[in-house]
Amino acid sequence: MKKNIISISIITMLLAGCKDLDTINYNNPDRQSVLAAGADLAPVLQGGYIAWWQGVHGPHPVIALSVAADAYSLPWDNFGAQRFGMEPRSAYNNQLSETLDYKQIALAPWFGCLSAVSSANDVLAALEEGITIDNEGPQDAIVRAAAHLLRGLSWGYIGLVFDQGLLADENTNVTGELPFSDYPAMITAAVAELDAAIAIAEAVGSDFVHNYFNGVPLNADRFVRLCHAYAARLLAQMPRTEAENVQVDWQQVLMHAERGLNFDFAPMADGRFWTSYQQYAFAETGQGPFWARLDQRLVQAFDPAQPARYPEVSKGEAPLTNRMATSNDRRLSTDFIFLPFNTFPVERGEWHFSHYQHNRNISQEGFAGNGSSGGPMPVFLQADCDLLRAEALARLSRKNEAISVLNAGTRVTRGNLPPLNTTVNDATLLRAIRYERALELLGTAPMSLWFDRRRAGRRLDFTELDDLGGLQKGTPAHLPVPADELTVQRLNLYTFGGAPDPEGINPH
């Protein structure tokens, strides 16, 4: 699969990604009719940010891929959760005949991110063609930096989620042949865009204000820190296997993480454009005990006496000895709620069962809203940057520094766990980092555990699961280009996962 031809029908789909916006007619692919004056730049860019947000943070694809990662457990058909949680795992069925709900697992991030790129490209091209707010003053520079950030985030998440993507900038002739780029190329291009955004913001300085994330204005310092944070995330979570993880440029991850967030990044829900999957993942958002529960693998992370897979009592397995887990980690009681009964149907698989739901909103007032009509939606915590920094230090053989970062962070401050001793070995240190990433970052970084498990270790049969190890065998480790795109381009359909592809990385 080497070439792709972008058609007018696809361009129209990209531009229609935020069709509900009142400000722009996204069905018109004519850039000049949309961007005729400086006042047009911000609305187009705002539409692009919404397209990116919805494509990456909505229940499609986050719910299905979080279930696939054994972060959450959910047996319902909604958002593809039940099929992505099958044991043994099945391939992603990349077919035009599939239901729209299921296809949206790939369609939402693909067209959401490409629509965002299209908006960024239009804005950057307009600036080059002389459309201006203040004649190349700070306002033009702010728009330019925001466009580079948007393009970097969009290319980056295509690189994280898919096996390949499309790199088209404002100078690309999209009516001609355009090759697919593999995921390392997508990540490299994304980080370069983030670097470009950083350079512009630093040059603007005190006049810089970014207002494209709902409810979260960013001055130059915070904008730069956010760019560094996303660069560190993209580089660290790109690998699909443990072998690829070793090849990461951990020095670059460290550099970006050290310059990353000193605040929790959490855009505000508005009930319309800015909503998230979190409304289905947090127990306290009104969805009740029928929605996502903490996967049993993570219950075992808290309590090693618990099994990593909920027993199938209907098939003769012994029931749990203790439904309530015990842990030295204070977060089991502050961030999760115990439910004595399960509300999932036995016939959908008892491995979906769990007695815990995520409950951090109640224990940490103001941490998150409802993911729908109001409140913050945390998607990149300062703790995430700290843990990326700790992992980079550990992988650069700077063990004592990594331990210092870990001991100064949420392991101790929120978990009330004992500080790690400098005598621990490398494997114990890396496990402590994986533990913290799995439990402290749960529900705050979309698809994070899916990204982390695929690089954590070997694939595991569903009969031999452990708490913090790799993906289950047959779990797709990335998604294919959606069937809708491939069909328009007259390219063969392909997919990942299932019995033919236990690693989840070989197309079939």
For residue 502, what are the CA distances in angstroms to 66, 99, 315, 471?
A: 18, 25, 25, 10
> Which residues are paired to 4 by β-bridges?
178
Q: To which residue do tokens 């005190």 refer?
A: 206
Residue 207: CB atoms within 10 Å: 12
Encode burial over 122-142: b for 16+ CB neighbours within 10 A, e otherwise: bbbbbbeeebbbeeeebbbbb
Q: What pTM does this model have? A: 0.95
| Collapsed DSSP state (helix, strand, coil) of residue 307 | coil
Largest CA-CA distance found in the chain, in angstroms, rounded = 75
Residues shown for the chain: 508
Instruction: Give the C-alpha separation, 32 to 49, whole Å.
Output: 20
Q: Hey, which bits of 139-198 come out as E strands?
A: 164-166, 177-182
pLDDT given at position 1: 38
Instruction: Give the C-alpha separation, 47 to 499, whole Å.
Output: 40
Enter the tokens of residue 212.
């494209």
- Angle in degrees, CA 88, 94, 97, rounded to 5: 115
| Collapsed DSSP state (helix, strand, coil) of residue 73 | strand
pLDDT given at position 23: 30
Contact 234, 252 (CB under 8 A): no
Instruction: Give the C-alpha separation, 252 to 243, whole Å.
Output: 18
Enter the tokens of residue 464.
């031999």
- Angle in degrees, CA 304, 306, 311, rounded to 5: 145
- Angle in degrees, CA 220, 138, 143, rounded to 5: 75
State which amino acid sits at residue 477: A
pLDDT given at position 402: 98
| Collapsed DSSP state (helix, strand, coil) of residue 5 | strand
pLDDT tens digits for the chain (508 residues)?
333 334 333 443 444 443 343 333 333 356 666 799 999 999 999 999 999 999 999 999 999 999 999 999 999 999 999 999 999 999 999 999 999 999 999 999 999 999 999 999 999 999 999 999 999 999 999 999 999 999 999 999 999 999 999 999 999 987 777 889 999 999 999 999 999 999 999 999 999 999 999 999 999 999 999 999 999 999 999 999 999 999 999 999 999 999 999 999 999 999 999 999 999 998 665 556 678 999 999 999 999 999 999 999 999 999 999 999 999 999 999 999 999 999 899 999 999 999 999 988 878 888 999 899 999 999 999 999 999 999 999 999 999 999 999 999 999 999 999 999 999 999 999 999 999 999 999 999 999 999 999 999 999 999 999 999 999 999 999 999 999 999 998 999 999 999 999 999 999 9
24-32: long-range contacts (C-beta < 8 A, 24 or more apart)?
26/115, 31/122, 31/125, 31/126
Q: To which residue do tokens 């843990």 refer?
A: 387
pLDDT digits (tens, 9 = 90+) for 194-249: 999 999 999 999 999 999 999 999 999 999 999 999 999 999 999 999 999 999 99
C-alpha neighbours within 13 Å on the C-beta side of residue 199: 7
pLDDT given at position 173: 83
